[in-house]
């Protein structure tokens, strides 16, 4: 009898449900559903810590490939606190997770999560638990994989937001700042900005000059089109902000607002005409997964299921070129995949006339 646990951790995104279905279908097809038990932990690592779970069958995962969100629920359990003993209750989170794993006699724990979730998964692997992870995040910032599930759907939603904003911008000859998710890396803003034909794309990896953004807007105002679309990653910062310490920068951001709000205020007096901010926000990771993410997440799940059948643990399933390959968790944990500032996508975006205001 194989006993498999699932948990979805961190922010939700499109593709979590089809990924779990991919695991269950692969294992049940190989072993027969009577020879497998599945346990779903509720609300991410909290379910593993506090023993909140439910026994599941193959039927529970049937027909969920087109559903957004996660049928298990999720939450954030920051890695920096995962090994901290609660001073009031004496709760040892790592100890409790190992206890729950042992109580259920799990053969493997499947973790679907982003960077923080992967760090905790690696810790559990180092503690002797059999763990396999799948790369989940709309930000596409997990090191070791060319793509994460959820990213393609989020790009489509963000691009649609830009498209819909464009018609209003053109009708009123306005400048719109469209703020796209991406606190530390700018893959989502870059992809959507190129697809949406942005005039400028501001990324966390490329600190920008307000004056250069203003130059883009003034140039467009004098042209026949008269409007501008500026895509702003939520982690975008000016060159001066980039020179601040992390503590100083966080305090500054707390006082001055979101990335688009800060830019809008900085542009006052530098350009003529109205400037409006549009923030699609959590709609970017909500709703049903696109066809690509359904297929991709399902295939990642199938690859994870095969690792479990082969009893190969301590890996994340990654996309490398056109192949799915296992990457050791020890190589993935704690690393971010940043947009290369001199990479192909940035180079061709600049060739198209898109400014990064650097």
Indicate the angle between helix axes 210-221 and 259-267, nearest 10 degrees: 70
Residue 95 CB neighbours (<10 A): 13
Q: How many angstroms separate the CA atoms of 344 and 129, rounded?
A: 40
Please check whether residue 188 is in contact with residue 159, taking contact to mean a CB–CB distance below 8 angstroms.
no
- Contact (CB, 8 A) for 55 and 38: yes
Q: Strands 108-113 and 53-56, how do they pair?
A: unpaired
139 is known as an active-site residue? yes
Q: Locate all alpha helices (DSSP H) within 51-86, ordered by sequence.
A: 79-82
341 contacts 206 by C-beta, under 8 angstroms: yes
What is the C-alpha separation between 123 and 89, in angstroms, rounded? 22
Instruction: Considering the candidates 139, 141, 199, 293, report the single residue annotated as catalytic.
Output: 139
How far is the C-alpha of 316 from the C-alpha of 119, rounded, in Å?
Answer: 11
Give all strands of the β-sheet with 228-233 in edge-to-edge order.
Answer: 200-202, 228-233, 175-180, 275-278
Q: What is the DSSP string of 90-135?
A: ---HHHHHHHHHHHTT-SEEEEEE-HHHHHHHHHHHHTT--EEEEE
Q: How far apart are CA 42 and CA 8, in angstroms?
A: 8
Residues noted as catalytic: 139
């Amino acid at each position: 009898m194989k006993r498999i646990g699932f948990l979805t951790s961190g922010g939700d995104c499109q593709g979590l449900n089809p990924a779990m279905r991919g695991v269950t279908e692969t294992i049940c097809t190989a072993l027969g559903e009577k020879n497998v038990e599945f346990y779903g932990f509720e609300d991410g690592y909290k379910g593993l810590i506090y023993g909140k779970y439910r026994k599941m069958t193959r039927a529970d995962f049937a027909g969920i490939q087109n559903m957004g969100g996660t049928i298990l629920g999720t939450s954030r359990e920051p890695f920096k606190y995962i090994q901290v003993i609660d001073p009031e209750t004496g709760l040892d989170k790592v100890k409790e997770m190992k206890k729950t794993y042992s109580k259920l006699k799990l053969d493997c724990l499947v973790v679907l999560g982003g960077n923080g979730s992967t760090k905790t998964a690696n810790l559990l692997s180092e503690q002797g638990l059999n763990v396999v992870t799948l790369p989940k995040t709309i930000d596409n910032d997990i090191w070791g994989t060319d793509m994460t599930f959820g990213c393609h759907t989020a790009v489509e939603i963000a691009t649609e937001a830009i498209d819909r904003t464009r018609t209003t911008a053109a009708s009123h000859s306005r400048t719109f700042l469209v703020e796209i998710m991406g606190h530390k890396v700018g893959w989502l803003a870059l992809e959507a900005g190129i697809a949406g034909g942005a005039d400028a794309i501001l990324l966390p990896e490329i600190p920008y000059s307000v004056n250069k953004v203003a130059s883009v807007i003034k140039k467009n105002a004098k042209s026949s089109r008269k409007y501008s679309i500026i895509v702003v990653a939520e982690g975008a910062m000016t060159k001066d902000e980039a020179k601040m310490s992390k503590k100083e920068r966080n305090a500054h951001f707390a006082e001055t607002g979101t990335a688009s709000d800060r830019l809008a205020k900085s542009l006052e007096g530098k350009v003529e005409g109205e400037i409006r901010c549009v923030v699609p926000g959590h709609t970017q990771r909500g709703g049903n997964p696109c066809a690509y993410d359904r297929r991709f997440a399902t295939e990642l799940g199938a690859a994870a299921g095969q690792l479990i059948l082969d009893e190969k643990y301590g890996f994340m399933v990654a996309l490398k070129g056109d192949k799915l390959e296992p990457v050791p968790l020890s190589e993935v944990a704690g690393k971010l995949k940043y947009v290369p500032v001199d990479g192909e996508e940035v180079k061709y975006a600049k060739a198209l006339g898109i400014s990064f205001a650097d």
